Structure 1
């Protein structure tokens, strides 16, 4: 399947993401308008995975759909993932792709920046993920996770709210250097409101709407992080991630503007907190559902840490290879970012179609992660899909839970580290079980989570 960008085509010059092209520019692309006014908005929100499977089966790897007030063009396949994420010709704007969803909530986050600005800010913020800060985070993660997992004890529990609370506490410690307390609870509430507002059908912050709650949550966090950034600069910073951001400098050695630091912190806290919560929940559910794999992962972790509940040292993070493969398989089955939007700055070609400049386009990692051409028996949980030989034989962009190209998730190594440390403490203390035949319903957007909280039983070993 050919996928060719066209750098010489007419450019889409407006920088305002609200400016659109005429609907007739997409007449040659197959698809559906849906219902009057609302299009397919509610159909997608009800079951986005079933909707995308139906559209792909009906129209193929390129189709259009009217949703959230405008037309969107879906590009399906590993080749589409590579075209959009690698973006060698700088055809696709991440800023204008995400802005319709996130501009009121997470403006100027790293994911919403393009090209030179993105590269410069990413380089400045990468200081927070160097070996010394990461070693500091590993110590904080081991302490916090060990204490909480021990508190859980045995018995039945709703896993998702428990791990969400833990990841918030860990983020407050490692990211902000803030002991958990009333202010951390308010921070969590603000993030929850902002994430839920990102898919609210009512896109204006009218009274009593989810968008209003999200906008109010952002206002609280902007005020809090602004005060904290200025305080940390005055006091010389610290080892936590926020202090690293607050004292980061650009290529000329200048401190980043405080408002940019605040926006980056808002976005990265959301990304780390909510996506890790979702990903760890998926892994725990799949290992509980497949006790044979759980036992193998447990044995591997015990072989690395030596005794139940011992710390997983920073220097040993590369050793639990099967644990990492199981995590990657969980990210394949339930990717934390199921779809990724962009805006075409120039016209381009994919799968025999010319998509015009200005089109809102997007890829669908969840659908590609379940395509039989890349993943035989795709509904089966099999961590050995990620042995080096199988990874080498597969299309590089068939698995994109962390994005790819210049916008590859900056915190992916932190995600691996936190997940491995958590599993080392959990699985060497407990056997995690679910009732036979248990299949929770999942909220797919904006970040996957089990609607019932995921009921599990922890049995002390």
Structure 2
């Protein structure tokens, strides 16, 4: 159970800490079990080497509330579905997402929707939600069907590395659905910029010194800010306006009817492109890996796709009919969540797991651990989409499965992710049978999971 220690719930007292750069002394959390690791670097390199193994060892030794020093500061880990609910649902507005993600993303994706709090977050989320209404979603559906069908057909039968292929495809789809235009000669630079920014988010060196990953990430952001700023001006002038997501964002208005500031549109688009591009790539790869490992489930999804998309194209109205595909996708997201952990910062004192945790403490939940815990899942390492029947979902703790977050910060684009993956599976599985080449690969766990060998598969025509 969690409670506020001070001040009382719903208090109007201002937070004692207003920016993530303000720190609390280590002595303030010394009563919480844990360890800081070697001088200067703390446990940073231990975590990067094996983040899931490191968490397992810490939980086994210290329990489900522990302190850890990494990436230049102390963090208190809160473990389990109850911790997920406390932090993500955040009934009493204890936790700041902005100050939690700040040390990781402030130089790379500042002011993205995930980095906003409370009223600012609510207002911008409302303005941006116009891009996910039924009419724009129907437009994206058409773009996804066209783009995925053409690319999957072009892959042809034979061996391939799926991860780089689907990464290239999702970037092209984002250009069509999100921007409403094909990539020009800047395509490789744009893709490189996103890759550099994501990798910089877990770089051990947190300042953009020359030749460091952080410097490459900061330079990538500068390039994209210039690119998107130019595009906002063009859309607002009426040039290239359409049903694409960027046009929706560029013309979105706040509650007073005023257009969002240009820099806000740019920051939101920059963050959304990263989130949609890299997380969908990771999630689709995780699903295809499981279908290759479990051919009987692959066949079930193939039969479902043939029954629902008999003409070869999936209609927007038929998305809900791909029930087995959605269950399999959810199970793949359980096994390999695209965001394995989520940080926050406490704005007020609170209690959890028998410990008083002071305001100003950086805290984190471990999505991957919860998704693999025997407390919530029978045989958690086994792929079993039937875990996601409606009956099974109702019987389980609501926050035992949180690949898209939860509460006010639930992923705004989660329905777009479902739509894209369903179209991909319908187009892919009705053309090819998928098998692995070389066995199940090792995965890089952070910052966004991906197979180290690119997921080597073989496609055989069906």
Same fold (TM over 0.5): yes
Task: Note if 1:100 corresponds to 2:103.
Answer: yes
CA distance in 2, matches of 1:14, 1:238: 43
Task: Note if 1:85 corresponds to 2:88.
Answer: yes
Deviations 1:222-280 (A, max 9, x none): 00100100110011732110010000000000000000000000000000000000000
How much has 1:373 moved relative to structure 2? 1.3
Asked if the contact 1:11/1:347 (under 8 Å) is kept, the reply is no
Q: Secondary structure at the match of 1:255?
A: coil
How much has 1:364 moved relative to structure 2? 0.4
Asked if the contact 1:324/1:420 (under 8 Å) is kept, the reply is yes
Deviations 1:341-393 (A, max 9, x none): 00000011111111111000010000000011110000000000000111000
Deviations 1:271-308 (A, max 9, x none): 0000000000000001000001111111111110115x
Q: Show the counterpart of 1:288.
A: 292
Number of equivalent positions: 457
Q: Show the counterpart of 2:128.
A: 125
Task: Note if 1:111 corresponds to 2:110.
Answer: no
How much has 1:12 moved relative to structure 2? 4.2
Unaligned runs of 5+ in 2: none
Q: Show the counterpart of 1:241.
A: 245
Q: Show the counterpart of 1:413.
A: 415
RMSD: 1.1
Comparing 156-165 with 12-21, which one deviates more in the overlay?
12-21
How much has 1:4 moved relative to structure 2? 2.4
CA distance in 1, matches of 2:437, 2:170: 25
Q: Could you state the TM-score of these two structures normalised by the residue count of structure 2? A: 0.97
How much has 1:57 moved relative to structure 2? 1.0
Deviations 1:199-229 (A, max 9, x none): 1111111111111111111001000100100
CA distance in 1, matches of 2:396, 2:168: 37
Moved segments of 4+, more than 6 Å: none
Task: Note if 1:334 corresponds to 2:342.
Answer: no
How much has 1:3 moved relative to structure 2? 2.3
CA distance in 2, matches of 1:149, 1:333: 25
CA distance in 2, matches of 1:78, 1:16: 28
1:50 alignment partner, one of 44, 53, 60:
53
How much has 1:435 moved relative to structure 2? 4.1
Unaligned runs of 5+ in 1: none
Asked if the contact 1:158/1:455 (under 8 Å) is kept, the reply is yes
CA distance in 2, matches of 1:440, 1:170: 26
Task: Note if 1:39 corresponds to 2:38.
Answer: no
Q: Could you state the TM-score of these two structures normalised by the residue count of structure 1? A: 0.98
Task: Note if 1:150 corresponds to 2:153.
Answer: yes
CA distance in 2, matches of 1:383, 1:124: 35
Deviations 1:5-50 (A, max 9, x none): 3462686423121001111001110001101110000000111001
Asked if the contact 1:178/1:184 (under 8 Å) is kept, the reply is no
1:225 alignment partner, one of 224, 228, 244:
228
Correspondence 1:25-424 to 2 at 5 A: 25-235=28-238, 237-307=241-311, 310-424=312-426
